[in-house]
Structure 1
Amino acid sequence: MSILNRLSNLTKATIHEVLNKLEDPILMTGQYLRNLEEDIAAKETLLRDQQAAVKMNEQKSKDAAHNAQLQEQKALEALTAGNEEAARRAAIAKIHYEDQAEHFSTNAKQAESQVFELELRLKEAKEELARLKEKRKELAERARKVEQSSQAECVNFSQGTYSGAAARGFERMEEKISEWEAGMAKSGYRPFDSASTMNHDNDPAVNEELQRLKDQLSSKKDQ
């Protein structure tokens, strides 16, 4: 290996070690949760604004429709009195108010659609927040065990159904803890927990992995 390659690998390893020390998984996951909570708060504010917009536009549409009816009545009265010019002005005003009523009605429907979408996103975000809080407890316990043993134990990484930026951050921090835990496997330290093993008997992720391995063996036999 050339001296340049050695220096390059040494530099990369040094940078990785520095970043590894700077990124504390528990602190980082706490920040991800705060970011998600801020995002939820922002969505709740936007939801309230859109709900207010729905009511405002509905009221404006209702008022405009009422004014259109009044102008129609004026036009009828003007025609009855033989004042065609006044009737024309009233008819023009009626059309104007009808256009306004339709415009505000359209705005109200658009705001209603945004309210529905925001409510859905808020529901998903709050569910994700609850999941990630539970995941943080699990990661904190795993990190505590790693810290106590000053090594790491290899544990399967399960992505679950997380989706937002906070969830991706959690996944990265879980991978980080898994890297710590991997050192324990290499050192030969593998604490046995029978209760934990029993708890995974019906774990979907475990069953899925077993089935994948069975399919892989079956495929090799068929070749």
Structure 2
Amino acid sequence: MGVLNRLIDMTKAAVNELMDKLEDPAMMLNHYVRNMQGEIDAAQAELHKQEAMVRGFQQQSEEAARLADLYDAKALEAMAAGYEASAREALAAKLHYAEKSREYSAWLESAKSRIAELTRRIEEAKAELSVMQKKRDELITRVQQTAAKTHQAMPSFSCGFDEGSASRGFQRMEEKILQWEAHAELRRTPYGYNYAGAPAAAGTVSEQAADPSKEALINEQLEQLRKRMPAAE
């Protein structure tokens, strides 16, 4: 068996091994699209929670500030009436509620920052979801076209679902489909030859031979072929 034929057989084996590990890409692409929608829904639920917290902190801060003012007035009245002990108690209450008002205000600002971040993430995720949905349809169409062109069954990728973000899983899935397309095309016309042995598009082999390292390997193989040929009588 010639070197070229062995290389072709090795390529076939590698492609067949890859195909054995493939599963329906549409199912996995849809899985990641649904996961992205789930991430958006979770972020929106958290957004609603933070919005409720903002309203609560706002009310608590205002109420604490009102009580601080109230006890400030009571302290002033007690001092005017000569009740220093009562004034001290009122001032202690004033300081307590003033501190509480500052705490609630800080939590309020933190919740507002969280809302701004969640709003930004949701907007970005929605835009990414739209791109994923379009890309999903495009990828499924490409897989169908490649399968039809190469007379192969629709592939699948039974390597398990990615447990990370939906976006990363979708990107990995796209990379796997690109690899499958490349392998399928290589299987259809490996090394510039089709399976009937006819040359493929003109220039394919000559372009490969233009690489000095490849040309040296080809010359070496040619020399080995010459030694194997029967000697001329």
- Whole-angstrom distance in 2 between the partners of 1:142 and 1:17: 16
In the alignment, which residue of structure 2 is the partner of 1:71?
71
Task: Please report the TM-score for the alignment, with normalisation by the length of structure 2.
Answer: 0.65
Q: Per-residue displacement from partner, 1:100-145 (whole Å, max 9, x unpaired)?
A: 0001001001111111111111111111101101101110110121
In the alignment, which residue of structure 1 is the partner of 2:138?
138
- Whole-angstrom distance in 2 between the partners of 1:25 and 1:33: 12
Q: Per-residue displacement from partner, 1:34-55 (whole Å, max 9, x unpaired)?
A: 1111111000000111111111
1:30 has 2:35 as partner: no
Q: Which runs of structure 2 are paired with 1:1-150 in the superposition (5 Å)?
A: 16-20=18-22, 23-150=23-150
Task: Please report the TM-score for the alignment, with normalisation by the length of structure 1.
Answer: 0.67
- Whole-angstrom distance in 2 between the partners of 1:19 and 1:123: 36
Where do 5+ consecutive residues of structure 1 fail to align?
1-11, 153-163, 190-223
| Alpha carbons of structure 1 residues 185 and 16: separation in structure 2 relative to 1, 3 Å | closer
User: Rg: which structure is higher?
Assistant: 2
Partner secondary structure for residue 180 of structure 2: helix
- Whole-angstrom distance in 2 between the partners of 1:28 and 1:177: 11
Q: Per-residue displacement from partner, 1:34-82 (whole Å, max 9, x unpaired)?
A: 1111111000000111111111111100000000000011111111111
The root-mean-square deviation of aligned C-alpha atoms, in Å, is 2.3
| Alpha carbons of structure 1 residues 32 and 90: separation in structure 2 relative to 1, 3 Å | same
Provide the identity percentage: 39
Contact kept in structure 1, 2:47 and 2:115, CA below 8 Å: yes
- Whole-angstrom distance in 1 between the partners of 2:36 and 2:77: 61
Larger relative contact order (CA 8 Å, sep ≥ 6): 2
How many pairs align? 165
- Whole-angstrom distance in 2 between the partners of 1:54 and 1:165: 28
